[in-house]
Amino acid sequence: MTFSPKIELHLHLEGAAPPAFIRGLAREKDIDLSGIFRTDGSYDTGDFKRFLDVYEAAASVLTTPEDYARLTVAVLEDLSARGVIYAEVFTAPQIAAKNDLPLWRDHVAAMTEAADTVPGIELRQIATCVRHFGPEGARGAARCAAETTGGQVTGFGMGGDERVLSPEDFTWAFDCAREAGLGLTSHAGEFGGPESVRDTLDHLKVARIGHGVRAIEDLALVDRLAEDGIVLEVNPGSNVALGVYAKIDAHPIERLRNRGVKVTVSTDDPPFFHTDMDAEYEALHRAFGWDDDIFRQINRTAAEAAFCDADTRTTLLKALE
């Protein structure tokens, strides 16, 4: 099952770094990261907490604009080779730039310039705060995002550990980003239940939810998502790898879609979860019989929900015809 062209809306740039890329940078900078790799060279992840720890350790070697430029090229070349024509990547001002605005500006500029060198794919950047780093850090990330709005920075989001704090704690950050004109998305309904999705909608007023799949545990909420046209950035392989669902057959994406929820398909952190866009599509084809018509519809939904300008959206929709 191969389907092209594809649109990816939920991809963490740091989480898309191949282990060999991170090892190479660590070697160059003389940083010891031996604890985060298995003997076969892959990331040594386990449960969600371990995943976040390994992710943050790996990301710690990314410090300079040049690092981000190199990573952007590596990631986009891989996506483009798989038929992805448009990608939105999450980048975290709190991780590499430590919310330092001049450095963050340099990172954004480096990623923007790097993306423009890769043919066949269009990039947008979603500046993202990290929930378990707390509300003050999120406010700083939102300020960084607001100051770089325009160009490729078109969205603001939140990732991290959904089991700590509550969406309400991040209202200021999301209000700031909204006032700057950024599209809004937040992780919810991955390791939190339906109440986490509901609180995120009520307090952060996002257009899209990262994951959102555990909304399935409350059908009234599912109906609200459908009625309000909230778009879910679903990452089935990530959910299975982190144990949210035991296997793809048990994943609720098909039930959500059948009840009228706008679902899209992405990879989250592909090398951590041993996945890529083609593997995701193949798994959905096998588990639920999804065919080209359904994949075209999913990608149309993604194009309509993309945080991009009208001309770009028109181009994407045309490419999907």
User: For binding to Zn ion (CB under 5 A), which residues are involved?
Assistant: 268
Out of ligand ADE, Zn ion, none, which partner does residue 276 contact, by CB within 5 to 8 A per kind?
Answer: none
Selection from 59, 78, 108, 119 nearest residue 267 by Cα = 78
**DSSP alpha helix (H) spans, 149-218:** 171-179, 194-204
CA distance 135 to 137: 5
Nearer to ligand ADE, 217 or 223 (CB): 217
Closest approach of ligand ADE to the CB of residue 220, in Å: 25
Q: Which of 233, 254, 268, 276 binds ligand ADE (CB under 6 A)?
A: 268
Query: Which residues, 6+ apart, have CB-to-CB distance to 53 below 8 Å?
Result: none
**Is 122 an interacting residue with respect to ligand ADE (CB under 6 A)?**
no
Distance CA 288, CA 255 (A): 10
Catalytically annotated residue among 8, 88, 162, 190? 190
Q: How far is the CB of 12 from Zn ion (least distance, A)?
A: 6
Choose the contact partner of 104 out of ligand ADE, Zn ion, none; CB within 5 to 8 A by kind.
none
**Given 3-state DSSP classes, what are the helix, strand and coil percentages for the chain, each rounded to the nearest 5?**
55, 15, 30
Residue 251 interacting entry, from Zn ion, ligand ADE, none, C-beta within 5 to 8 Å by type: none
**Dihedrals phi, psi of 259, to nearest 5 degrees:** -90, 10
Using the rule CB under 6 A, which residue among 12, 82, 124, 208 binds ligand ADE?
12
- The verdict on 93 binding ligand ADE (CB under 6 A) reads no
Which C-beta is closer to ligand ADE: that of 12 or that of 124?
12
Nearest Cα neighbor of 176 from 141, 150, 207, 152 is 141
Q: Which 3 state secondary structure label does DSSP give 98? A: coil
Q: Is 189 left (phi over 0), alpha (psi -120 to 50) or beta?
A: left
Q: How near is the Cβ of 109 to ligand ADE at its closest, in Å? A: 24
- Contact string 142-171 vs ligand ADE (x = CB under 6 A): -----------------xx-----------
Query: Which H or E element spans position 211?
Result: strand 208-211
Is 77 noted as a catalytic residue in this protein? no
Nearer to Zn ion, 33 or 213 (CB): 213
Query: Which residues in this chain contact ligand ADE in the complex, by CB under 6 A?
Result: 12, 15, 55, 159-160, 187, 190, 238, 268-269
